[in-house]
Amino acid sequence: MAHLRIASDVGGTFTDVVAFDEQTGRTRFGKALTTPLAMVHGILNGIQKSGEAIGNTRLFLHGTTVAINTILERNGARTALITTQGFRDIYEIGRINRPDAYNLFFQKHQPLIPRSLRFEVNERLRADGSVLRAPTQEAVKQICVELKSQGIEAVAILLLHAYANPAHELQIKHWVQEELPGVFVTASHELSTEYREFERTSTVAANAYVGPRVSRYLKQIDDTVGSEGFHGGFFVVQSSGGLFSVQQAQRECIRMLESGPAAGVIGARSVCERLQITNAIAFDMGGTTAKAGVVLDGEVMMAGSIMVGGYSEGLPIQVPLIDIQEVGTGGGSIARVETSGSLHVGPQSAGASPGPVCYGLGGEDPTVTDANLILGRLAPDKFLGGEMPLDLLAATSALHRRVAEPLNLDLHRAALGIIQIATTTMSHVVTRVTTERGLDAGDFAMVAYGGAGPLHASLVARELRMPTVIIPPSPGHFSATGMLQADLRRDAVRTWFKPLAQLDFDEMESIFAAMEQEGRAAVAPQVAAEQDILLRRGADMRYVGQEHAVTVELPIELFANRDLAGIKRQFDEEHLKRYGFDAVKEPAELVSLHSSVIGQLERPKAERLASGSPSPGAPIEVRPVLFELAAGFVPTPVYARDRLMAGNVIQGPALIEEYASTTVVLPGDELSVSPFGDLIIKVNRE
């Protein structure tokens, strides 16, 4: 009988696999280089390294960056848009934002679908969803003839006011599928039932753009693991941190935009729960990017949309998701000297192929990983437990030739400069989820993970004056581990404009009931009992006269008690938290209703570590490490993490080595080991 739950996280450099045995509670890990030409091979290699077999698996969970990378790299399908007559240019006009008013080189967003491939159909709904003019099949057929001649691979359908009535979108989708079998077809109401036509257009266009590639990718994995004997449930991590079926993921690809990173934030929340921490920054640094999310008051901070490519020039995606920001800085980020004579680090990455110079796979450009190796923070013979020796000589030669010599710098000063630039860049991603949200990073602990996260976390924390860094067990596999902490989840949003004073609880309850019925149907087959299904409700609210709304979590009791004052109080408190002020006496209104149906799955329990004395015992070695140029190389004790015991205390400087990561304890910092094996670093902020 299948008894494993396997989670796989495909990153730009490495593919991480965690196998959880539901019978014994044992967890095993595997790590393999990502195989860009056929991602599934990297997954199978990781499973093999974990010592488990896919044929013994009951649930296979997967997170990937393939959707977001397709948009960022602009290598998606040849896509067309069908929209209401007179609205083909809404996608290009956007919001007429000019975020940087004095930037003479400002570039507005570039649509994924060119104007020549946007087609209009003569139909119209009124704002309340009633029909003004119905579409005709003949008009749609004529458009399909043109689409066929253009070699279109995907079609996005966006009709005005379809969030209020999807009938026309459904009809046109049916006609297009009849005329263009094999073409990926998606309609806006399937992804977003909120108002704002530009955002809905951008969302459905992005889903169509990535759809063929993502659906093929998921089908390849599904077929391959099936041929290897897997017959269990295949689920993908959504950007909201929940799981949904691979069949749904192949249709609603845009929901997995931040798939892997979202799982890491869910894992960070679990760390906070066991350590009784309410506020934390989830900091993930891998080979290609660094990402940050927020756990606030014990809950993951969510958002109703994201700007892919940044606020200034990005494209909006309007789906519920964890509020994650990222920057192109990772262990594989390339350091280069520009023609102006300045040193840049990233966003270009060496990735998995050829990878950093020290990997010995053909890379020629020095990276952050090469700099860490030269500074002594990584051991050439212990990377991935010794499975992958690092070439110190090649890294030294490349960094000297490409960076130190052109800048007329000492080799070690150049290496420290690379680390400093990377640190500053990564600190910006943390401020984007804190300072720009009205939060103070200094009030948060940092949960750091990813293969490169523990190497740099204390440096980033010092930059932002954060008091504590927490390195969870197996940080190099943490996003995959976070998938084992995730639940099934179905999020729904319905636009519903209503002054709070005129709220009809019966009407609102019927809307919530419809959303929750759909959500229950999606998650119920995989949960053990009815009591394992949780319902959460919320609303987008604003003061009368405002344009933009705030998403407010609303306890179920408020609806049971028909508590209008309680709903208003929740909104005022959230507005105060986000913007620093509230208007208690001002009337408020609802814009949209939010529903989340969560099917709870059994989670692996955190294992307690054996207790020991404050002394960690003798280090496995003492290695010279460079932290500051003025101090030179410092003899630094190196400890094996699997030999540490709960209660051990280590004064910096020190290095803690484990299979897929190395933790740097800076001079002046103090590390202690929690009862669950977390490394808790008290950061010296003086």
Structure confidence by residue, pLDDT tens digits, 253-267: 999 988 888 999 999
CA distances from 627 to 116, 283, 284 (A): 56, 22, 22
The pLDDT tens digits for 459-513 are: 999 999 999 999 999 998 898 999 998 888 888 889 999 999 999 999 999 999 9
Question: Count of alpha carbons within 13 Å of 386, Cβ hemisphere only?
Answer: 0
Give the three-class secondary structure for 367.
Answer: strand
Residue 18 has φ and ψ, to the nearest 5°, of: -125, 130
Question: Count of alpha carbons within 13 Å of 181, Cβ hemisphere only?
Answer: 1
Q: Is the pLDDT of residue 544 over 90?
A: yes
Q: How many residues would you count in the chain?
A: 686
Neighbours of 183 (CB within 10 A): 21
Q: Are 394 and 356 in contact (CB under 8 A)?
A: no
Output the DSSP codes for 4-20: EEEEEEE-SSEEEEEEE
Give the three-class secondary structure for 319.
Answer: coil
Class of the CATH-defined domain 76-209: alpha beta
**259-329+425-484 and 76-209 share a CATH fold:** no
Neighbours of 226 (CB within 10 A): 12
Full-model pTM: 0.88
CA distances from 329 to 191, 219, 290 (A): 31, 31, 6
Confidence of residue 236 (pLDDT cuts 50, 70, 90): very high
The pLDDT tens digits for 156-209 are: 999 999 999 999 999 999 999 999 999 999 999 999 888 889 999 999 999 999
Architecture of the domain made up of 4-70+215-256: 2-Layer Sandwich (3.30)
Domain assignments of the chain as residue spans, ordered by start: 4-70+215-256, 76-209, 259-329+425-484, 333-421, 489-599, 621-682
Class of the CATH-defined domain 259-329+425-484: alpha beta
